Amino acid sequence: MPVNVPPRNQVDKAWTWNAESVFPNHDTWQTEQQALADALSSLEHFQGHLADGPHKLAEYFTASEQLFRRTLKLFFYARMHLACETTDQVAAGMTGQAGGLLARLGGATAFAEPELLQIGEEKLLEWVQAEADLKVFQHYIENLFRQQAHVRSGEVEELLALAGEPFGQVDQTEEALTSADMKFRPATSAVGTPVEVAQGSIDTILGEADRDARRTAWESYADGYLAMKNTLASNYQASVKRDVFYMRARRYNSSLEAALFQHNIPKDVFYSLIDTYRKHIPTWHRYWAVRRKALGVETLNPYDIWAPLAKEQPVVPYAQAVDWIAEGMAPLGDEYVGILRQGCLQDRWVDVYPNQGKTAGAFSYGTYDTFPFIMMSYDDNLGALSTLAHELGHSMHSYYTRQNQPFVYGDYSLFAAEVASNFNQAMVRSHLFKANSDPNFQIAVIEEAMNNIHRYFFIMPTLARFELEVHERIENGKPVTADDMIGLMADLFSEGYGSEMHVDRERVGITWSQFGHLYSNFYVFQYATGISAAHALCGRILDGVPGAVDNYLKFLSAGSSMYPVDALKMAGVDMSTPEAVERTFGVLASYVDRLDALTS
């Protein structure tokens, strides 16, 4: 049973993220914040003069880059502190300051792209060839003109940038409400012992053998959200209306198109995923039947999805997890593994353990000028190992991108991001299957695999269908209430659960509010495409396909210097076809077969 979650100030510093590598202290941060606020006016003399010549344009790119790098670092420091302790009012205030500064910087640079469009693509590409400092911007310029129809005038762009600050409050409200203000009644174990339910402990409880604890924790968690369903629904609708506002302001036909066009991802990729998922729903129905039989229950409930099937769950301390992850990633070479180990064990990339007020889930986050940090709540099991491997996939992706790309291409799309994370999990899982043939351990690894695939290949496509429907309703001026959203979510999950699962419609239906991912426009479907590409690429490397490792490392290093679909083709997988998604459903089916054999 999980232990009580400690307050932040009782967590050993060795297990916290290396904040002092970003800023030595809050005072230094405040000094930089004021310096940046004063520096924004330095961009004013560029407005109206980008057409003066290639040298002036190169000067502008350099000046704006430095301000963005400094401001993003400022925002990250505050935001990471707040994520690790959402009740920290100082961090909340700093996050607001930095967010406001970032919006002001966006407004101060909003004139640039409309001016570049007025100069014209032909002349700009001539300047790229003539001015050494501009050569790196060729892809940026070509991509800008690809999106020309959706770039507005300088004044409109400035307003859109400034709107980012108040619109960003929607996301902060969601986090403050769910991670700081929302309280959950204690769960009750089979022997009547109260069990604390918190964002940092819910996943651990749901993975326990005690069915009473699982049931009461799941009910408590869902009821905590249901108690605020109207507020949560209103806030999520504000997020969707934000997407619709930007879609219309930039003259797209739909929010989906607006989300995908930026990275040149065809809409068919989204619809193909949904169609392929629905085609293979019977595979999930079979898994629920196998799981119900293995647990020995008459009816499966959602709180049984993570119940352990192995007689003994492996205990995996953090250091052991790092070792196993490093061994699993060994095919990528000594350099990759060495960087990963140093980040985890020496440079304190990871904020490791749960504490009170820590935000739910896990993420990898940093800037071009920081380590690629990880926030999580490690709890010494295979699931936590898998989460760490996943986030390290993101962090190593960030590391390689920033080492190999200039700032203008030093990020990558969400579509590419979820490939690297799921790739790491697939590689480590393959290693664990080979490293220990004990049937109990094999069952435990399959359980971890199924939990991961369930999240990314069942929950996320279901949320994507929900997200599409809510966006389309709001785009068409139709009303959407909290009960509408709960009913829609319950219907979609009922289709996926089939006859093997009992569906408590209210508690299942509130699932949408438990995923902050929905506040990022059409993000969730990219988990499913990501896990599909990841399994395809993992298979190439484990099969020893010539050049597979080098091509994958090139993908990690590409950043946004290539469109994500093209970068993945370079790595060896074509996401414009359903082949990778079909392959991953084959992997899922093979796990169900193995689990059935081992548990029978």
Q: Does position 372 have pLDDT exceeding 60, yes or no?
A: yes
Q: Is the pTM of this model over 0.85?
A: yes
Arithmetic mean of pLDDT, 395-421: 96
344/352 Cα distance (integer angstroms) = 9
List phi, psi (to 5°) of 311: -65, -35
Virtual CA dihedral for 503, 508, 509, 510, nearest 10 degrees? 160
pLDDT digits (tens, 9 = 90+) for 51-106: 999 999 999 999 999 999 999 999 999 999 999 999 999 999 999 999 999 999 99
Distances (CA, A) of 196 to 179, 203, 217, 313, 375: 15, 12, 9, 21, 21
Provide the residue ranges of all domains of the chain, joining segments of one domain with +: 8-162
Positions marked active-site: 391
Find, among 377, 380, 384, 389, the residue nearest to 344 by Cα.
389
282/570 Cα distance (integer angstroms) = 33
User: In degrees, to the nearest 5, what angle opens at C-alpha 192 toward C-alphas 187 and 195?
Assistant: 30
What band does 2 get if pLDDT is binned at 50, 70 and 90?
very low
598/600 Cα distance (integer angstroms) = 6
pLDDT digits (tens, 9 = 90+) for 420-473: 999 999 999 999 999 999 999 999 999 999 999 999 999 999 999 999 999 999
Of the given ranges (156-170, 374-388, 422-436, 464-478), which has the lowest mean pLDDT?
Answer: 156-170
Secondary structure element (H or E) that encloses residue 194, with its range = strand 194-195
Give residue 574's pLDDT. Answer: 95
In whole numbers, what is the pLDDT of the chain averaged over residues? 95
Which fold, 8-162?
A: Butyryl-CoA Dehydrogenase, subunit A; domain 3 (1.20.140)
> 195 in helix, strand or coil?
strand
50/543 Cα distance (integer angstroms) = 52
pLDDT digits (tens, 9 = 90+) for 214-270: 999 999 999 999 999 999 999 999 999 999 999 999 999 999 999 999 999 999 999
pLDDT digits (tens, 9 = 90+) for 299-314: 999 999 999 999 888 9
Give residue 199's pLDDT. Answer: 87
Q: Does position 360 have pLDDT exceeding 90, yes or no?
A: no
Between residues 600 and 186, the one the model is more confident about: 186
Residues in Cβ contact with 104 at an 8 Å cutoff, skipping those fewer than 6 apart: 37, 40, 162, 165
Q: Does position 511 have pLDDT exceeding 50, yes or no?
A: yes
Count of other CB atoms within 10 angstroms of residue 109: 21
Arithmetic mean of pLDDT, 273-288: 97
List phi, psi (to 5°) of 371: -65, 155
Q: Are 160 and 342 in contact (CB under 8 A)?
A: no
Q: Does position 107 have pLDDT exceeding 60, yes or no?
A: yes
Of the given ranges (200-204, 326-330, 514-518), which has the lowest mean pLDDT?
Answer: 200-204
Find, among 42, 54, 43, the residue nearest to 119 by Cα.
54
pLDDT digits (tens, 9 = 90+) for 209-230: 999 999 999 999 999 999 999 9
Q: Does position 200 have pLDDT exceeding 80, yes or no?
A: no
Residue whose pair of structure tokens reads 């290396």 in the numeric block: 18
Of the given ranges (110-124, 172-186, 554-568), which has the lowest mean pLDDT?
Answer: 172-186
Q: Does position 1 have pLDDT exceeding 50, yes or no?
A: no
What band does 162 get if pLDDT is binned at 50, 70 and 90?
confident
296/303 Cα distance (integer angstroms) = 14
List the structure tokens of 564. Answer: 């994500």
Distances (CA, A) of 173 to 109, 178, 224, 463: 27, 8, 16, 21
Arithmetic mean of pLDDT, 504-509: 98
Give residue 201's pLDDT. Answer: 85
Find, among 378, 379, 380, 376, the residue nearest to 360 by Cα.
376
Percentage of the residues of the chain whose pLDDT score is greater than 70: 100
